[in-house]
Structure 1
């Protein structure tokens, strides 16, 4: 399969507008399972020849152009190759470079994006380059950017650590929702609060957080995480309760865990 993927990357690199292709996801990080997808980041600049891209995908394959999947995951294709899932994810290289410039200044965005229940955190763009594997890079542009991203920018680290305050704010709001037995609202506040803390824990360790998948498990193993962070967070998220009393007790425990985490991050 590796040879097929490398050949596919070479074909994609020949599409007008495509700058290069990177292997991403769990396979790039060596964390994949036998049935894991092959995620290919297709980096383009300016106009992209969608007709040529569709021809590369083969008969019957659907290819979404820039913007068709949303503002951040802005297009691509879901393919099956010899029974294995292969995903093409389009990435506008100009935008990736702008996000990288923002990260170096300690700036980031969290945007609404289908498939990202905690929002799309813009540093993901940079993390994909930093952690990805080059498959096709005719002009060396991706290699140059990857070299730049080898070191996690301190201003971004500081910004994400400072943003951990939002977890406490969300849990204060959740406490009010608990008095009304508002399960949906409390659950959403809990998820967002722990998502913010996970981002801060990754940043503290100067580690790129690409998305929500598996992030809690990893965060619980990081040096700054309080004892049993992952287990405690999972228990609260799994069974927040249904009555006002049950929800209030859950929020109280979540507040305690959030306070411990923020204290560890700022120690």
Structure 2
């Protein structure tokens, strides 16, 4: 992207945020919800395919919200931006109390991703809060959450390393995986490859005291971490795209097991 195009894109985003943020904040019962931009744009990893993931936080929201003038204004504005080609699909409304309850659990080492249809490996609250771009923060709560997460919590790191290490060790040694390769059980093998790739990435990010980035941009962000097995990104890419030759599935399993062994070397060190 040229400098001029990047400047135009930044201006377009700023105009969108300026237009939508007051309407989003007004959905709160007191009319002053905290607003943030999350997802790839919050992380600074957006491209032309990225949408706008707005969050709003409040103590409570207006009763019968979707029948209110405030909701109608928000929805109409969103549709107008969508007509212009902006990808924005609604708003996620969160309560301060609910977020703080969940955050306390994560900080204490209870890593329980929440399951939603729009995420493959679950919603990870620390990732969202640590990376989101704060737009409106009347009580300073969003900034406070970022401060809490500025240093990676050791209880969370220990819990994630244990959880995903157990998964990786189990499947590296389990004969069912080998037998499924011999049978060319493709549905199983697609599933186990995704499961193990996710476990490896979760392990690597926790090892480096970096928040798992979510479903997108995993390998590019992993490439920036200091503690990695040799040739990590290229090896992961070859695992995920093993080819279609007769030995591809057997080679894929062998490479996964080798990667798991290299992770053991890293954690031992």
Give TM-score, length-normalised by structure 2.
0.80
Q: Pick the structure with more helix per residue.
A: 2
Following superposition, the deviation at residue 134 of structure 1 comes to: 1.3
- In the other structure, the counterpart of 1:57 is 74
Following superposition, the deviation at residue 144 of structure 1 comes to: 2.3
Contact 1:198 1:215 in 2 (8 A): yes
- In the other structure, the counterpart of 1:152 is 152
Following superposition, the deviation at residue 257 of structure 1 comes to: 1.1
CA–CA distance in structure 2, aligned partners of residues 60 and 9 of structure 1: 11
Give the length in aligned residue pairs.
248
Q: Map 1:18-97 to 2 at 5 A.
A: 19-34=33-48, 36-47=50-61, 49=63, 50-51=65-66, 52=68, 54-59=71-76, 80=82, 82-87=84-89, 88-97=91-100
- In the other structure, the counterpart of 2:170 is 169
CA–CA distance in structure 1, aligned partners of residues 240 and 25 of structure 2: 43
CA–CA distance in structure 1, aligned partners of residues 222 and 96 of structure 2: 29
Go from structure 1 to structure 2 and tell me whether the alpha carbon gap of 1:105 and 1:58 turns closer, same or farther (over 3 Å shift): closer
- In the other structure, the counterpart of 2:219 is 216
CA–CA distance in structure 2, aligned partners of residues 258 and 241 of structure 1: 23
Q: Pick the structure with more strand per residue.
A: 1
Following superposition, the deviation at residue 136 of structure 1 comes to: 1.3
Following superposition, the deviation at residue 151 of structure 1 comes to: 1.8
- In the other structure, the counterpart of 1:8 is 20
Following superposition, the deviation at residue 108 of structure 1 comes to: 0.9
CA–CA distance in structure 2, aligned partners of residues 48 and 193 of structure 1: 43
Bigger shift: 9-18 or 229-238? 9-18
Q: Which runs of 5+ in 1 are unaligned?
A: 63-77
Q: CA RMSD in A?
A: 2.7
Bigger shift: 47-56 or 245-254? 47-56
Go from structure 1 to structure 2 and tell me whether the alpha carbon gap of 1:79 and 1:209 turns closer, same or farther (over 3 Å shift): farther
Give the match's secondary structure for 2:226. coil
Following superposition, the deviation at residue 110 of structure 1 comes to: 3.5
Contact 1:152 1:207 in 2 (8 A): yes
Give the match's secondary structure for 2:145. helix
Following superposition, the deviation at residue 135 of structure 1 comes to: 0.7
- In the other structure, the counterpart of 2:9 is none
Go from structure 1 to structure 2 and tell me whether the alpha carbon gap of 1:210 and 1:97 turns closer, same or farther (over 3 Å shift): farther
CA–CA distance in structure 2, aligned partners of residues 45 and 81 of structure 1: 32
Following superposition, the deviation at residue 153 of structure 1 comes to: 0.7
